[in-house]
Structure 1
Amino acid sequence: MASSATASAATTTRTRYRPPAVTGLTDLIAGSVRDRPGTPALIVTADHVRLSYAVLDGLAADMAARLADTDLRPGDPVGLVCANTVEFVVALLGAARAGLVTSPLDPALPAPEKAARLAALGARALLTGPAAPDGPPGTRVPAWPVRVRVLPSGTATVTLDAAARPAPRGAGAAGELTCHDTLVLFTAGTTDRAKMVPLTHANVVAGVTGVCTTYELDPADGTVAVMPLFHGHGLFAALLSSLASGGRVLLPAHGRFSAHTFWDDMRAAGATWYTAVPTIHQILLARAAQEYPGRQTQPLRFVRSCSAPLPAATARALEDLLGVPVLSAYGMTESTHQTTSEPLPRHGHRGRGSVGTATEVDLRIVDTDGRPCPSGEPGEVWVSGPPVARGYLADPAETAHSFADGWFRTGDLGLLDPDGCVYLTGRIKNLINRGGEKISPERVEDVLAGCPGVVEAAVFPVADATYGQRVGAAVVLGEGQNTEPDRILDHCRDRLAPFEIPERLQVVAGLPHTPKGGLDRRSLVDRYPD
């Protein structure tokens, strides 16, 4: 992890922090509506129109009333397919107030996958944003378009086209939902692998409280919604935590991250922080010479990185550029996003290379027999506490495997140092077995990414008749770089054991990524075959 950096002028001495008092999605913005109704909650459209908390509250109330006029009843699940637009926020908050359970879906999913997920959930309707297509074919779930008309004055109205009747009740996993549930998120994966995670209002409160408290978010803060809102990273860390704390969120004009407009958006939001995956941090660094306006123009408090390992070289370069700490966090859908995070510099130790300490959860490292490991000894990361979901819907076998005695078995490998900092070393299922030697691809990737000229790396198993598997790697070079593979391998020889050094190395133009920005390991072997 990067060294500490001097905070910018945006960092001030704050009084003892008090997290927002919320009980779930239904009253997420109630405090700001009561105390600061005229302050901006969302900044939307290409013209950066500011919608106040009072306006957002009115839109959510109207949406809830329109949903209540349909045949939907409290506890019914609905899908939501929408980009990062005001329609997403209004549909989400309105559905919560109507007592519905909302499941955001990736708009880019192929239609058959959308249909399969809606069927598995037992969704009764699909709420869609402006750019979303009609409901996927092969499903009885009707698509109900949601539209928010925003005027330059900062007023807005919402409409819901719910002419089609909702699908029948009782299908899919709907019968497993309870009156306490408010969200169902799908884990990353294809249709047959993605799992449904039910999150209660209490889970949401714990997840949001962890983010707000870790970074001391309050009404003075603003951010840009960089990450997609259908995943926990963008949903909990950027959107819901900002709204709960009374801050403001800018939704990019086309509903998705744009490196070209990012710094203009940050300036328009008066942003004090942002959160993103390492790939986006690297993109911003590569364009900084032409586009970054400078520390005085855009003063920040901190930058957050999550959802994939952040190379130390990237963190250092970002801190040098922005002059603020870059804080690594670690999270997962099953723990309502954030599980650990590096603290703000004045609040604790930042372990070099760690993902910080536990936030709102109990965390332990265990051996293969489930016994806690001593400090410094690697094992599997287990977490427990208020943010952790109760299990998976419609998957009792996987629930029994992953959730035991109140603990969630993450499948991640890591260790704890004496200060309680967590160091991740890889995923159990990603380990490469080379003749009995277990190799963490994440460790090798970190070394590769530290080689001058390399901006991203991927490591994957290659079938081998003698050893079973050997180490393959693909690297992406920075613009204008021409680092030779032999030089990259020399860099590895000084830092890795002989059996960890890639035996096949390719320089490629780009690597595959999941919708939330992490490395798509499933497609690596197919993309780079023997």
Structure 2
Amino acid sequence: MSAEILSAVERFASRGNGPAIGAPGRPDLDYPALAAQIAAGARQLAGLGVAPGDAVAIVLPNGPEMATAFLTVAACATAAPLNPAYTEDEYAFYMEDLDAKLLIVAAGVETPARAAAARLGVRIAELAHDATEPAGAFTLVDAPGAAARRNGPDDVALVLHTSGTTSRPKIVPLTAGNIEASAGHIAAALHLTGEDRCLNIMPLFHIHGLIAAVLSSVSAGAYVCCSPGFNAMRVFAWMHESRPSWYTAVPTMHQAILSRAGRNADVISQTKLRLIRSSSASLPAPVFHELEKTFGCPVIESYGMTEAAHQMASNQLPPGKRKPGSVGAAAGPEVSIMGEDGSLLAQGETGEIVIRGPNVTPGYRNNPKANAENWTNGWFRTGDQGVMDEDGFISINGRLKEIINRGGEKVSPREVDDVLMEHPAVAQAVAFALPHEKLGEEVAAVIVLKEGASAEAKEIREFAAKSLAAFKVPREIIFMDEIPKGATGKLQRIGLADKLGLTKAGAA
């Protein structure tokens, strides 16, 4: 974030005292107070010796202070939000990798991040807030003030690591210009105005919540209510209190919300959502249709990733098109499909999804090998395999690293997921590669059944065989009460066989 977003906050502040940041059970922080909070926090950071380009690790619980701390640090330095659930060794790795100059933690709250910072000699700043004060208001304890310089468009405002599922996590620096562009793309795609109210249930150490919920709202002069973190049993109470016009989440969260929708019909009818947004993982078509039927509003599936400061493509609000099973058309950057030889492919041809535009990171930090592998002729290679239709809408077959190679036959795990999800007893399904002595890999799937439902593996396989070629039908089906998920609620496909202790598939 740079002078542009700060100027927008100040402009909204000059127009009146509309609400900006909120939280369940707390008074709202209005735009004049938000502008003053960012300016005061920036002065305190400057007093602690922090300048543009310096990484500031932030370890705070989900909520309004995390949101305003991010906005403040991103205005004058490099925000580096970290998962509050990390261990001391994980904190030490990430802070050392980022060369963090400062760690912000909640005053009086114990966290392994403190010990990690002490090991590395990283200065600690305690963030204090009063729960009776407006949501997001804070001060840094014993931090003197000094003149602060705002980030320019090319200064790095946010830095995150890739998930590192199959390799060492890569550092993704995002400039102020990158995150401002993406926030603007999201606000434009969703037609956000100052009248909108977002309920954020996404973690704020992840690009989805930071940009799609918080920064897109602030860039439009809208309001965002920051929950303490996703809790399906509390979402409807938060909806009743905050009266949102929209929310954004990952598919597993939408499914959990739907599981409790029947007993919260009154809240749903009173809330009157304008839209529901889904991103960060593919949304199964049955979930798409059930969401629209339950909430009576359009569901907008979008396509995002950290390297793009989140949004790349999106389905459209009416009267525009939205296609279940598609992540939409380009919604900000240019999007194309690239062949293995680096040529751009025609509509209808399958290849790697590539992007370029103002929201795309300038490159991984200190990683020339990854930069050489992931950029071709100015296009960033997403690692996702997909196809673009005649309307420019993109369908994703899956991560290239997730494609299952069964004896030379390539299987898209998402295609298998979609078929399994059509079974009336299936609540969740994730297909994955299981090592096989002769074939190399075999198709396997983990399934969670709907409450009160029953089904046998043979029955599931027979159902899948009606829609899938024989080589795509899962030979191994594992029933579980819950599928392992990452910190942001995304299903973890890569490495799932190891996590489940499955080493070899049965006989083909």
Scaled by the length of structure 2, the TM-score of the pair is 0.92
Q: Structure 2 residue aligned with 1:225, among 189, 192, 200?
A: 200
Within 5 Å, give how 1:179-190 maps onto structure 2: 180-189=155-164
**1:150 CA displacement:** 4.1
Aligned equivalents of 1:333 and 1:261: distance in 2? 28
- SS of the aligned residue for 1:27 comes to helix
Q: Structure 2 residue aligned with 1:198, among 167, 173, 193?
A: 173
Aligned equivalents of 2:338 and 2:72: distance in 1? 42
Q: Which amino acid in structure 1 is aligned with residue 213 of structure 2?
A: A
Q: What are the Cα deviations for residues 308-358 of structure 1, in whole angstroms up to 9, with x where unaligned?
A: 110000111111111111111001011110000000021x22234211100
Aligned equivalents of 2:166 and 2:477: distance in 1? 31
Aligned equivalents of 1:508 and 1:398: distance in 2? 36
For 1:61, the equivalent position in structure 2 comes to 39
Q: Does the 8 A contact of 2:329 with 2:394 survive in 1?
A: yes
Matched, 1:438 2:417: no
For 2:80, the equivalent position in structure 1 comes to 103
Aligned in 2, Cα 1:457/1:289: closer, same or farther, shift over 3 Å? Answer: same
- SS of the aligned residue for 1:106 comes to coil
Q: Which amino acid in structure 2 is aligned with residue 161 of structure 1?
A: V
For 1:313, the equivalent position in structure 2 comes to 286
Q: Structure 2 residue aligned with 1:80, among 48, 52, 58?
A: 58
Aligned equivalents of 1:526 and 1:92: distance in 2? 35
**1:155 CA displacement:** 8.4
Bigger mean CA offset, 511-520 vs 137-146: 137-146
Q: Does the 8 A contact of 2:158 with 2:173 survive in 1?
A: yes
**1:27 CA displacement:** 3.3
- SS of the aligned residue for 2:174 comes to strand
For 2:328, the equivalent position in structure 1 comes to 356
For 1:487, the equivalent position in structure 2 comes to 459
Q: Structure 2 residue aligned with 1:142, among 101, 123, 128?
A: 123
- SS of the aligned residue for 2:269 comes to coil
Q: Structure 2 residue aligned with 1:237, among 209, 212, 217?
A: 212
For 2:482, the equivalent position in structure 1 comes to 510
Within 5 Å, give how 1:176-325 maps onto structure 2: 180-189=155-164, 193-252=168-227, 255-325=228-298
**1:157 CA displacement:** 5.2
Q: Which amino acid in structure 2 is aligned with residue 318 of structure 1?
A: L
Q: Does the 8 A contact of 1:185 with 1:198 survive in 2?
A: yes
**1:492 CA displacement:** 0.4
Q: Which amino acid in structure 1 is aligned with residue 254 of structure 2?
A: H
Q: How many residues align?
A: 491
- SS of the aligned residue for 1:124 comes to strand
**1:485 CA displacement:** 1.9
**1:395 CA displacement:** 0.9
For 2:147, the equivalent position in structure 1 comes to none
Within 5 Å, give how 1:323-402 maps onto structure 2: 323-346=296-319, 348-402=320-374
Q: Does the 8 A contact of 1:225 with 1:238 survive in 2?
A: yes
**1:404 CA displacement:** 2.8
Aligned in 2, Cα 1:492/1:115: closer, same or farther, shift over 3 Å? Answer: same
Aligned equivalents of 2:265 and 2:282: distance in 1? 24
Q: Does the 8 A contact of 1:70 with 1:162 survive in 2?
A: no
- SS of the aligned residue for 1:296 comes to helix
Q: Which amino acid in structure 2 is aligned with residue 202 of structure 1?
A: G
For 1:9, the equivalent position in structure 2 comes to none
The answer for unaligned runs of 5 or more in structure 1 is: 1-20, 165-176
- SS of the aligned residue for 1:420 comes to coil
Q: Which amino acid in structure 2 is aligned with residue 356 of structure 1?
A: G
For 1:167, the equivalent position in structure 2 comes to none
**1:204 CA displacement:** 1.3
Bigger mean CA offset, 101-110 vs 306-315: 101-110
Q: Which amino acid in structure 1 is aligned with residue 353 of structure 2?
A: V
- SS of the aligned residue for 2:266 comes to coil
Aligned equivalents of 1:79 and 1:459: distance in 2? 36
**1:463 CA displacement:** 1.8
Scaled by the length of structure 1, the TM-score of the pair is 0.88
Q: What are the Cα deviations for residues 384-438 of structure 1, in whole angstroms up to 9, with x where unaligned?
A: 0111111101111101111233210001000010110111111111111111001
For 2:473, the equivalent position in structure 1 comes to 501
For 1:172, the equivalent position in structure 2 comes to none
Matched, 1:129 2:113: no
Aligned in 2, Cα 1:219/1:147: closer, same or farther, shift over 3 Å? Answer: same
Within 5 Å, give how 1:403-418 maps onto structure 2: 403-418=375-390
For 2:11, the equivalent position in structure 1 comes to 31
